Each structure stands twice: as C-alpha cells, then as structure tokens.
Amino acid sequence: MTEVRLVDVEKRYGAFLALPKQSLTIEEGEFLVLLGPSGCGKTTTMRMIAGLEDITSGDILIGDERVNDKPPKDRDIAMVFQNYGLYPHMTVAQNIGYPLKLRGMDRAKRNERVLEIAKKVELETLLKRRPSELSGGQRQRVALARAIVRTPKIFLMDEPLSNLDAKLRVTMRAELKHLHYELGVTTVYVTHDQMEAMTLASRIAVMREGRIVQLDTPKKIYSEPIDLFVAGFIGSPSMNLIEGAVENGFFVAKGVKIPVQLADRRDVVLGVRPEDLEIVKQEGAAITAPAYALELTGESTLLTVKDGATSICVRGPADLETKIDEVCYLAPQAGGRIHLFDKSTGTRIDA
Amino acid sequence: MKNRIYWAIERTLLLLVSFVVLFPIFWMFLTSLKKPRDAYSITLNFQPTLENFATVFADPWNLGSMVLNSVIVAGVTVLIAVPCASLAAYSFSRFRVKGRKILFFLVLSTQFIPAVVIVLPFFLMFRSLGLLDTRIALIIVNLAIVTPFVIWMIKGFIDAIPVDSEEAALIDGASRLRVIRDIVLPMAAPGILTSSIFCFILTWNEFLFSLILTRRDAVTLPVGLVNFRTERGDLWELMSAAGVMITVPIFIMAILIQKHFTRGMTAGAIK
C-alpha cells in the first residue's frame, strides 16, 4: 500500500498548456476517481503517473520515491486500459501470466497463480482461448486479471467499463468495488461517468480544462458542489439550475419564489436537486409552472415543469398522475438542500 | 439486368487483362519444354522434353552458378535489410523524435533517384575498391535500394498495430526491446514476412546494377538470360528454361505471401 503524490506537476505539449501546475495527493489504500468531460486531462494525469507520458515540470512520488525518470516497468504499477490492451497473439493464460513471466517466475508457479486469479474472475474455462474469441466482458476480465495477478503498489484504471453494455457495467462496477476492498491497493480510476465515480470512489477529483476543480468525498461533492460546473456534472438527473435574483429574503425568478438566507443580490443561480423538491398544494407553492413531461423510472416519476426558458425537474412518487400543461406546484422539501451560485463566476455563495 | 451487364463487362475485362499478363508466361513454360526445332512453331502439339533444363545447367551456360549467385545476393540482402528496417520502422512509427518527418522523407527520397543516374558512380566506386564482379558489391547496392523501401513498408504494418498492447506490456514490466520481441514482432510478423518476400523478389529481379557491376563470377540470373542471345541467334528454348528457373521461386513465394497476408494477426487486440 502506497501513497502517490503529484507535486507542482505541469504538462505542456509544445506551447499548449495541457495541465496547469497543480498538486494532488492520493492517499494510501484510497480509491481516487478522476472525473471530468472528455479532454479535461484526466487520462493524461493518469498516464503521467504510469510513466507513459513525460511531465514538463514538477515531481511524481510513489511512496517516498521520486519516479519522474523511471520507466513504467520500474514503477510497480498495474493498469487496465480502456481498450484493454490485450496481447492478441497470446492465449488468455499467457496474457494473464505475462507480468509474472517478465518477473522471472517459473512456469509451474506461474500456472498455479494464473489459475487462481482466473478462478477469481471466472475465466478458468477460457484459459486456452485467444482474445479474439472472447466477448467484450470476458476481455475486460482478462485485462483485470492481468492487472491483479501480482500485487502492485498502485492500480490505474482508464475508463475500464466504458466499452461494456449497461447491465454488465453495473455488475463489473460492484466487482471492482469488492476487489478494491479485498486487495486494499491504492487505486486511481479515470471516468467521465459521474455514476461510476459516485459509486466507486473514496474521493473524487472533478477536473475541468486540466484543472482539478473539486477534490472531496462523493457525499461532499454531491451535497456541496463548489461551483456551477460540478453542480451540473454530478447527479442524475442533474441539478436544476435557475437564474434569478435575491430580493427581501426570497430567491425570485419567473414563477419561482423560494425563501433563502442571503442579502439582496442580482445575478444569482439557484440550484436544487430533483429529489430535494416535492409536489405540493397551491398554498405552499414556491414554484408554479405547467407540466412539460412525465417520466416513470420505476421506483419514482420524474416530472418536468417548464415556464419559458426555465425547466425544473422534480422526483415524485411512482403513482404520480398529472396531465401535460396542467399547472403544478412545487416546493423544496423540509431538510432539502438549496445551493446558491454567483452567475458570473459560477462559484458557490455560502449564506 | 444492369447488374448482369456490369458483371459481364467486368468479367470480360478481367479475362482480357489476365490473358495479356499470363499468356507470355504460359508460352515461356511451353517453350522451355520444346526441342529447338519446335521453338518457333505456334503448335501445341509437340513432344515435351526436359532436355533444355539439363543443357542450361551444363557447360558452357552454367546456370547453376548464377542461381547460386542470385540466391546468395537476394538471401543475404533480405537477412540484413529486414531486421535493420524493422527496427528503423518501429522507431519511425513510435518515437516522437525531433526531425522525424525530415528523416523519413530523406529515407524515402532515395527512391526518387533513377538507377541509371547512380549506376556509373557505383561502378567507379567498386572499381577503386576492387569489388567489381563480386557478390558483396551486389549485396551492398541492393541493400541501398531495398532498405528504404522495406522501412516504409514495415512502418505501415507497425502503424496499424494498436499502441495499447505495447503500453500494457511496458507497464506489466517489459523493457522497450522486450516489448518489441514479445509484442510487436509477433503481431507484425505477417507484415514483416510479406516485406521480406517483397524484398527478396526485388533483389532477385534486379537487372541493371547486376549487368554493369558483374562480368563473370557474380553474374545473377536475370543478367544470365542475356547470354542466350548468341551469334547463332536467340536460343529461345534455353532462354525459356532459364526464365522458368527465375520465375518459379517467385511464384511459390507469391503464393506464400497470399496465405499469410489474409490472416489478420491484430484481430482481437482491442475492444
């Protein structure tokens, strides 16, 4: 188990600044998720830790060792690639055993270990096949098995689930989580899927344009997003963001009047998650707007109301019945969270 | 209806082209089996004989030593060119070195120079080195001609191999050379084999340099063919027999290439 530290690390491609100077500490045994839209630098960050990408300045430390100039093979890491990076000319057993072979483990011991790991990921019947004869999910498990066949100091995973179908993804997610619990190895995981990040991470680093915007536990990122970008990125369906102003202790916008504890201010964005709203009678209404769409998800119904440009989504009971265009009344739930952001800078305003 | 007409035209054209290309070769095979008196007749009705093959290998033609020269020159050229070119191609494909594009252009630019322009300088060079009429001279010249071409060809094959597997191997604990040995070479093998055969064929068929740089000892097969134009006239049946000797190895290799070429080794590497 090892701590990974990035100290004042910067990455440039010629004149292009890919990752501005920043530091990041990944704690021992932690499952850190780098989350962000494509092109935000999360994969580059991971590849720099792996040694597949040079860093322009700064230091990377694995444990207490500075690894800037060490080739990937000497960093004692294992990585699962988005496209798996299997060896097509080798059998499944050879693929899984390759890291051991490179470390000079003798054949008998190697075969034993490969079988043990293959059983763990349920590949033991496929050991003689080649990657081309496997399904996507099976290939993914080969890649995983190859990573865990020895115990590295850190695991790196680059969107390992993105090529799987939705159902398999959920299953594999649970398996990854359990595996991390079982092995306790420091893990860095890259994804653009906020759901994966929320469910897997001990901490999430939300990245945008090369910068880590917020680094915190999933709970904290969900309940206290630091700015509009994080607020909109985390959560599904995403947080309702309503533009308006604060007047006399109320946030007001078209059809919206919600009490807030904030001095009068213009250009404010109010954020409220669908599950923090509820459908009420006319008397208690904070939001009044006609129904726009009704979506049954199974355990609940998502009701979207829309008045002009603002559309607001609320999570209601599964048996909710409302006609389209019928006027609806919504209010924040008791104990529901309301977030206020500055419209121009996007930063959170704390009351 | 339209499709059928299209199909018919296509087939007719294909047959026509095949005929133009294949008929002379077919005729050469026939002629190589004819007695001298049948060589000029257009009949298919003749007594086949293998006499011509015996004649060309005997004195004064001694085709055997030419076959040996050709095999050694082409073989050694392949053995040196392909490993060097493979490493060069890998570097060009994977490393982002400064001036990489210019370097690669320079490698390719060697192919823009017509052979006739450099054949005389080569002749003078080898004369002062005392290497005229030696196999070594031919190997050096052929290496110069073939290596850039093979680099370019193998680079194409290596470019097509996904980098993911290589990076995975680097992280699994392999050094760069180990990656090349364990991952790149097996995956590029069909391409490298194809390039080797191509390289062999190019060298095997090379005529101009061999004609100028050799006289007696190091003469290769294509130049040897010219010997059959004598003061007694063109000895077509012997020339055909020698022609068959040149063609058959290439035929066999072409068939070998085809078998390996269609097998996609990179399938299943990703996704």
Q: What ipTM does the predicted assembly reach? A: 0.84
**Nearest residue to B222 (alpha-carbon basis) of B252, B194, B191, B246:** B246
Contact call for residues B255 and B149 (beta carbons, < 8 A): no
Dihedral, CA of residue B180, residue B184, residue B185 and residue B190, to nearest 10: -160
Q: Which residues is A157 bridged to in the sheet?
A: A80, A189
Amino acid (1-letter code) at residue B223: V
Is the CB of B161 inside 8 Å of chain A's CB atoms?
no
CB contact under 8 A, B170 and A81: no
Distance to chain A for B172, nearest Cα, Å: 5
Other Cβ atoms within 10 Å of B61 Cβ, number: 18
**Average pLDDT of A201-225?**
95
Mean pLDDT of chain B: 88
Q: Which long-range contacts (CB under 8 A, 24 or more apart) does A249-258 make?
A: A251/A338, A251/A340, A253/A310, A254/A307, A254/A308, A254/A310, A255/A287, A255/A288, A255/A289, A255/A307, A255/A310, A256/A286, A256/A287, A256/A288, A256/A310, A256/A312, A257/A286, A257/A287, A258/A286, A258/A287, A258/A331, A258/A332, A258/A338
Nearest to A84 among B178, B183, B270 (CB): B270
| pLDDT value at B43 more than 80 | no
| pLDDT value at B265 more than 60 | no
The pLDDT value recorded for residue B269 is 42
Nearest to A98 among B172, B265, B267 (CB): B172
**Nearest residue to A147 (alpha-carbon basis) of A47, A78, A68:** A78
CB contact under 8 A, B172 and A73: yes
Query: pTM (2 decimals)?
Result: 0.80
Residues A339 and A346: their CA atoms lie apart, in Å, by 12
Residue that is written with structure tokens 């100091």 in the block:
A153
Residues B137 and B131: their CA atoms lie apart, in Å, by 6
β-pairing, A256-259 vs A250-253, is antiparallel
Mean pLDDT of chain A: 92
**Nearest residue to A347 (alpha-carbon basis) of A240, A257, A214:** A214
B48 preceded by a cis bond (ω within 30 of 0):
no
Residues A115 and B265: their CA atoms lie apart, in Å, by 26
The pLDDT tens digits for A115-132 are: 999 998 889 999 999 999
**Nearest residue to A77 (alpha-carbon basis) of A89, A88, A65:** A65
Is the CB of B263 inside 8 Å of chain A's CB atoms?
no
Contact call for residues A329 and A287 (beta carbons, < 8 A): yes
DSSP code string of A263-309: --EEEEEEEE-GGGEEE--GGG-SEEEEEEEEEE-SSSEEEEEEETT
The pLDDT value recorded for residue A62 is 93
The pLDDT value recorded for residue B266 is 43
Longest CA span, chain B: 72
Beta strands in chain A (DSSP E): 4-13, 16-26, 31-35, 57-62, 65-66, 77-80, 154-158, 186-191, 203-208, 211-216, 240-247, 250-253, 256-259, 265-272, 277-279, 287-296, 301-307, 310-316, 327-332, 339-342
Domain-wise residue ranges, chain A: 4-233, 240-342
The pLDDT tens digits for B124-147 are: 999 999 999 999 999 999 999 999
Residues A139 and A132: their CA atoms lie apart, in Å, by 9
Question: Domain spanning A4-233 has what CATH number?
Answer: 3.40.50.300
| pLDDT value at B261 more than 60 | no
> Helix-strand-coil percent breakdown of chain B, rounded to 5?
75, 0, 25
Contact call for residues A250 and A260 (beta carbons, < 8 A): yes
Helix (H) or strand (E) holding B22: helix B2-32
| pLDDT value at A36 more than 90 | yes
Q: In the structure, what pLDDT confidence band is assigned to residue B264 with cuts at 50, 70 and 90?
A: very low
CB contact under 8 A, A130 and B165: no
The pLDDT value recorded for residue B8 is 92
Distance to chain B for A234, nearest Cα, Å: 28
The pLDDT tens digits for A37-74 are: 998 999 999 999 999 999 999 999 999 899 999 999 99
Query: Backbone dihedral region of A325: left (phi > 0), alpha (psi from -120 to 50 degrees) or beta?
Result: left
Q: Indicate the DSSP class of residue B132.
A: T
| pLDDT value at B76 more than 90 | yes
Distances (CA, A) of B255 to A346, B252, B261: 67, 5, 10
Beta strands in chain B (DSSP E): 229-230, 233-234
Is the CB of A162 inside 8 Å of chain B's CB atoms?
no
Residues A247 and A229: their CA atoms lie apart, in Å, by 25
Q: Indicate the DSSP class of residue A54.
A: -
| pLDDT value at B1 more than 70 | no
Percent of chain B clearing pLDDT 90 (strictly above): 54
Rg (chain B; Cα; Å): 23
| pLDDT value at B221 more than 60 | yes
The pLDDT value recorded for residue B180 is 93
Contact call for residues A222 and A234 (beta carbons, < 8 A): yes
The pLDDT value recorded for residue B259 is 65
Amino acid (1-letter code) at residue A263: A
Residues B180 and B87: their CA atoms lie apart, in Å, by 9
Is the CB of A102 inside 8 Å of chain B's CB atoms?
yes
The domains of chain B, with CATH numbers, are 60-261 (1.10.3720.10)
The pLDDT value recorded for residue B271 is 36
Select A240-342's CATH number: 2.70.170.10, 2.60.60.20, 2.40.50.140, 3.40.630.30.
2.40.50.140
Q: In the structure, what pLDDT confidence band is assigned to residue B256 with cuts at 50, 70 and 90?
A: confident
Q: Which residues is B5 bridged to in the sheet?
A: none
CB contact under 8 A, A102 and B269: no
**Average pLDDT of B25-33?**
90
The pLDDT value recorded for residue A246 is 93
**Nearest residue to A268 (alpha-carbon basis) of A250, A284, A281:** A250
Distance to chain B for A8, nearest Cα, Å: 24
Backbone angles phi, psi at B218, to 5 degrees: -105, 20
Residues B29 and B246: their CA atoms lie apart, in Å, by 12
CB contact under 8 A, B165 and A52: no
CB contact under 8 A, B164 and A72: no
For an interface test with B, the pick among A49, A82, A98 (most B C-beta atoms closer than 10 Å) comes out as: A98
The pLDDT value recorded for residue A166 is 87
Is the CB of B186 inside 8 Å of chain A's CB atoms?
yes
Dihedral, CA of residue B228, residue B229, residue B234 and residue B240, to nearest 10: 40
The pLDDT value recorded for residue B233 is 78
The pLDDT value recorded for residue B267 is 42
CA B1 centroid distance within chain: 43
| pLDDT value at B15 more than 90 | yes
